[in-house]
Amino acid sequence: MKCDQREVIIALYVEGDLRGHEMRSLKEHLTACARCREFAEGLRASQATLRSLGAELVDVEALQLVRARVLSHIAASRLVTPGGRVWPCWRVATAAAFGGLLILMGVSRLHRHSRPPAPAAPREVAAIEKPAFEGSIANATRTPRQAAVTKAPVVRRRIRRNKDLVAGARSIQQRQPLVVKLLTDDPNVVIYWLVD
């Protein structure tokens, strides 16, 4: 083994990390090789300096700064419950968001109940029963459109009135005329009646 290759082993030897055969072999080599002895001496010196770094005193201000930053960070980002349990900030944020959502839902529900009910749109203002045609072969052979034009059907109107209808009619009375849609049994005949 060349001396260059022994340097790694010498680095272990000077710190007492070699055992058994390796150590005995290296010791024998060191007694004979001045270059390796010199390298070992240099290593001992640098290792002594390296170890002395561990005995250095740390700047107290640097330590205090770290401690202060850690404690302030903990105080700012977390809440401590009376039992000593720590709530991470994400849990606090989630709980706050959920609570806010519940409050919003409650407020919106209250607001909805306090508003007056919207008037129902008039679905059907008037219904027309089946006209009582006098059965005649002539009318039966005509098309429905011709029948509607030539002879107006005799209808009996029955207007269903209820509270919603009246309220709806009153609410829209000032804005636009009431539209009455008259239906017949003929799908092609629809009569619209505008009431002021």
Partner 1 sequence: MKMRPEELVLKIGVSLSDADDASDVEGSSTQTRKRAIAGDRAAFEQLMSQHERRVLATAYRLLGSLEDAQDAAQEVFLRLFKYLHRFDAKRDVLPWLYRMTVNVCHDFRRKRGRQAKLDAAGESDRRPAFAGPDLDFERSDQRRIIELALATLAEKERAAVVLRDIEGLPTREVARILGSSEVTVRSQVSMARVKIRQFADRFEKRRL
* Contacting positions for partner 1 (CB under 8 A): 7-9, 11-12, 14-15, 17, 39, 42-43, 45-47, 49-59, 62-63, 65-67, 69-71, 73-74, 80, 83-86, 88
| Cβ closest to partner 1, residue 7 vs residue 129 | 7
Interatomic CA distance for residues 171 and 168, integer angstroms: 5
| Cβ closest to partner 1, residue 42 vs residue 144 | 42
Closest distance between partner 1 and the C-beta of residue 55, in Å? 7
Interatomic CA distance for residues 30 and 40, integer angstroms: 9
Interatomic CA distance for residues 97 and 100, integer angstroms: 5
Interatomic CA distance for residues 106 and 64, integer angstroms: 49
Closest distance between partner 1 and the C-beta of residue 81, in Å? 8
| Cβ closest to partner 1, residue 24 vs residue 73 | 73
| Cβ closest to partner 1, residue 78 vs residue 160 | 78
Closest distance between partner 1 and the C-beta of residue 9, in Å? 7
Closest distance between partner 1 and the C-beta of residue 44, in Å? 10
| Cβ closest to partner 1, residue 74 vs residue 152 | 74
Rounded alpha-carbon distances, angstroms, from residue 85 to 49, 77, 78, 90, 96: 46, 14, 10, 15, 18
Q: In 10 A of CB 11, how many CB atoms? A: 16
The whole-angstrom distance between residue 19's C-alpha and the CA centroid of its chain comes to 63
Closest distance between partner 1 and the C-beta of residue 104, in Å? 32
